[in-house]
């Protein structure tokens, strides 16, 4: 009888249910294992549906990490661009300015006579093309001169137009060695092309005379980023 009771007691112990603490521990373990992210092996293994919505935003992207060649064709449409997100003040790939009224100087050192000035935004590796023109004259046996100036790329003004005429003569800039006088024919005129550092550049015209008084009018300046 004692042995039978001992066997019955042993069978009862074997059928004993797990304690609540054990159940909770196992449940927590299963949840933890089920919620663990699975490492994706191999290059390009992360697909679009592996990333939670809005998990990656502009704050998570390095500057210039997304460029044109990384975008699929028609991936970005006009409806996806906020109003005024892109405008000429951000692109500013070309600029032109004019000063039509007369201005004069007796200075032999290039001075600012109120412009014109043209501002452009140049990308890295960019080139700029520049063309200037002005109607100019001088008193006596002297010459009126126009110079190109830019604080960082042309810190020392360079002569691009000159006229010794006593009556107004329109001259247009042209590239090349010995072209500091410019030309009177638009057919012979051209663009002065130069490399500059990336960033914002403001080109200006400055004025001087070899003697007497130099008078200028109908002044124009055009600057374009060509690469």
Mean per-residue pLDDT of the chain = 82
Beta bridge partners of 200: 121
Q: Encoding tokens for residue 201? A: 């550049």
Residue 35 and residue 77: Cα distance in Å, rounded? 37
169-222 pLDDT, tens per residue?
A: 999 999 987 789 999 999 999 999 999 999 999 999 999 999 999 999 999 999
Beta bridge partners of 202: 119
Residue 148 and residue 112: Cα distance in Å, rounded? 11
Q: Which residue has the higher pLDDT, 152 or 38?
A: 152
Banded pLDDT at 227 (limits 50, 70, 90) = confident
118-138 pLDDT, tens per residue?
A: 999 999 888 999 999 999 999
Q: Encoding tokens for residue 159? A: 């002569």
Residue 184 and residue 79: Cα distance in Å, rounded? 49
φ/ψ (deg, to 5) at 154: -135, 65
Compute the Cα dihedral for 84, 88, 92, 97 and give only its sign.
Answer: negative
Compute the Cα dihedral for 72, 78, 81, 85 and give only its sign.
Answer: positive
- The fold adopted by the segment(s) 92-225 is Jelly Rolls (2.60.120)
Rounded to two decimals, what is the model's pTM? 0.62
Rg (CA), the chain: 38
């Amino acid at each position: 009888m004692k042995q039978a009771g001992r066997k019955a007691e042993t069978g009862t112990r074997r059928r004993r249910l797990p304690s609540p603490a054990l159940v909770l521990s196992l449940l927590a373990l299963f949840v933890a294992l089920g919620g663990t992210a699975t490492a994706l092996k191999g290059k390009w293994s992360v697909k679009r549906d592996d990333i939670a919505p809005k998990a990656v935003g502009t704050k998570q992207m390095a500057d210039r990490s997304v460029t044109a060649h990384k975008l699929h064709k028609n991936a970005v449409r006009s409806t996806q661009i906020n109003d005024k997100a892109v405008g000429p003040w951000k692109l500013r790939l070309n600029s032109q300015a004019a000063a039509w009224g007369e201005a004069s100087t007796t200075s032999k050192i290039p001075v600012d006579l109120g412009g014109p000035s043209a501002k452009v935004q140049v990308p890295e590796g960019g080139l700029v093309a520049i063309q200037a023109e002005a109607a100019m004259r001088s008193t006596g046996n002297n010459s009126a001169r126009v110079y190109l100036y830019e604080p960082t790329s042309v810190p020392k003004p360079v002569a691009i137009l000159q006229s010794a005429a006593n009556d107004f003569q329109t001259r247009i800039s042209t590239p090349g060695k010995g072209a500091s006088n410019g030309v009177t024919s638009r057919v012979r005129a051209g663009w002065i092309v130069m490399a500059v550092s990336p960033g914002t550049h403001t080109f200006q015209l400055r004025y001087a005379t070899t003697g007497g008084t130099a008078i200028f009018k109908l002044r124009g300046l055009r600057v374009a980023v060509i690469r």
